[in-house]
Amino acid sequence: MGLTHTSTGAGAAGGGLAIRRRSPEDRVIALAGNPNVGKSTLFNAFTGMRQHTGNWPGKTVATAQGRHMRHGRDYILVDLPGTYSLLARSAEEEIARDFLCFGGADAAVVVCDATCLERSLNLALQTLELQPRTVVCVNLLDEARDKGIQVDLERLSHILGVPVAGTSAGRLEGLEPLMAAVDAVCGAPQPPEPFQAAYPPAVEAALARLEPPLEGWLAGRLPARWTALRLLDGEASLLGALSEALGDDPTEDPAVAAALEEARGDLEAAGLDGEALREAVVSALVGSAAEIAGEVVAFRRAREAQRDQRLDRLLTSRATGIPVMLGLLALVLWLTLWGANLPSELLSRALFWVQDRLTELFQSLHAPDWLHGALVLGVYRTLAWVVSVMLPPMAIFFPLFTLLEDFGYLPRVAFVLDHAFQKARACGKQALTMWLGKNRVRRLLWRERHGHGDELFRKIEVELVEFEPRAWYNKT
């Protein structure tokens, strides 16, 4: 079944996703953040059991929304998919962007990781361009303290121009100040004037040319600067979502179309058309995030910070990133294949010993052959085979993979492979799911090649082919 335009993009965010308001006074708050920054922990702490989970319409990306009562007012929290950017190179990024654009959120909370604030600020800066009523939540302050990292929250709030709250969601610390900041942002008569990243002069000149006609056309429905940047970028999925959500195509307005054509001509003359423009925008955002983090983050343990930086250079550089990744993943694969052989063999012997005992029991009870074939040779034998083959490697592989994730290596794998995957119109994060699937196939091929379970393979195949319940039913 294919996806339609109404089940993706703005259709998913603004129409398909039902926000369950009980009163017009309810406030919708979008929770955004990178993966593994404690966003879901924060969401669970606020909403408790008052949650509704499901999938975004037309996609397999999970969504959750819940309620938090404060001072007699309901806040509907929408837990957006974890994403590193709003530039929409994946389904998660597209959903997060479209909900912030068209989902009707009254405010946004961007959850940042205090242990690596620079990376999280990239998403925060993009969100501030789209939603001025934003609160930046610096989470995991307890872990940052353990690592000797200090974050000047007041200085960060002054630079960003929006409220900043520090939390340790796992310990339920800082939740009340965070909601107080959200309440203040939602109730303010005018939105804050947040920090704006400075793009290259040619991009700024193009934005200055395009913003005035867009402001009149948008009439406050979306920020003119952010919309102008997206029009210059020419992303097809967003342009269609804009036209559908706003009821008209901005490029059909004569003033907007003329300004857009002139701005694109200026960018092309400056060598900033197409992918070059996007790279310039991303570089400006990353540079701004690094500059802000340098002002507000202090390391009490400079030696550990330098060690982490050297480790990052080793794991993500062009020269060593790929070899180190291949070596680590090959080690995990080898440990999984080699380590699972013995427990798999012992488990299969135990389970098939139980099968023999079940066969003896059925024979002693003079059970009909069709019942023995269906229950023992069909259901139990298939289950025993699947468990003996799949359980041991899974019990080894997933803890190892979890360790890599806890050490923060998997995002680095996605970063290293992202450039190559973009050549195939994909993103680096897909490499992880592909590797998970390939690991299972390699496991079966390994066992077959080394003679483990060959006889069982053949027996199961024969029995599945000969398994004909209708024939057994006719015999009875």
pLDDT exceeds cutoff 80 at 284: yes
Nearest CA among 257, 128, 263, 270 for reference residue 196: 128
Mean pLDDT score across all residues of the chain: 80
Q: Which residue has the higher pLDDT, 122 or 245?
A: 122
Q: Are 199 and 207 in contact (CB under 8 A)?
A: yes
Confidence of residue 195 (pLDDT cuts 50, 70, 90): very high
Q: Which residues contact 4 (CB under 8 A, 6 or more apart)?
A: 11, 58
Q: Which residues pair with 135 in a beta bridge?
A: 109
- 429: pLDDT strictly greater than 50: yes
Q: How large is the average pLDDT for residues 301-310? A: 68
Query: Could you tell me if 293 and 117 are in contact, meaning their C-beta atoms sit under 8 angstroms apart?
Result: yes
440 neighbors 382 (Cβ within 8 angstroms): no
Q: How far apart are CA 329 and CA 401, in angstroms?
A: 9
pLDDT given for residue 315 in this prediction: 80
Please give the residue that has the higher pLDDT: either 416 or 189.
Answer: 189
Examine the pLDDT at 3 and tell me if it is beyond 70. no
Token output for 445:
């091929």
Q: Quick one: pLDDT band at residue 71, thresholds 50, 70, 90? A: confident
> Is the four-CA dihedral 135, 136, 142, 143 of positive or negative sign?
positive
Task: Record the tokens describing residue 128, joined without a space.
Answer: 């501030």
- Give the residue among 142, 164, 147 at the shortest CA–CA distance from 155: 164
Instruction: Pick from 140-144, 152-156, 375-379, 397-401 the range whose average pLDDT is largest.
Output: 152-156
Question: Taking Cα atoms as reference points, which of 244, 182, 162, 139 lies closest to residue 28?
Answer: 182
Rg of the Cα atoms in the chain: 28
Beta strands in 11-131 (DSSP E): 27-33, 51-55, 62-70, 73-79, 107-113
User: What number is the average pLDDT over the span 310-329?
Assistant: 83
Is it the case that residue 460 has pLDDT exceeding 50? no
Q: What is the pLDDT of residues 141-172, one digit of tens each?
A: 998 888 888 999 999 999 999 999 999 988 89
At residue 168, the 3 state secondary structure works out as strand
Local confidence band at 15 (pLDDT 50, 70, 90 cut-offs): very low
Residue 28 near residue 105, CB atoms below 8 Å = yes
Tally the C-alpha atoms within 13 A of residue 245's C-alpha that lie toward its C-beta: 25
Name residue, tokens 């806890």: 406
The confidence score (pLDDT) of residue 465 equals 38
The length of the chain in residues reads: 476
Could you report the per-residue pLDDT of 82-132, keeping only the tens digit for each?
888 887 667 777 888 888 888 889 999 999 999 889 989 999 999 999 999
Residue 139 pairs in a beta bridge with: 113
* 265: its two tokens: 């001509």
pLDDT of residue 127: 94
| Mean pLDDT, range 183-189, rounded to an integer | 93
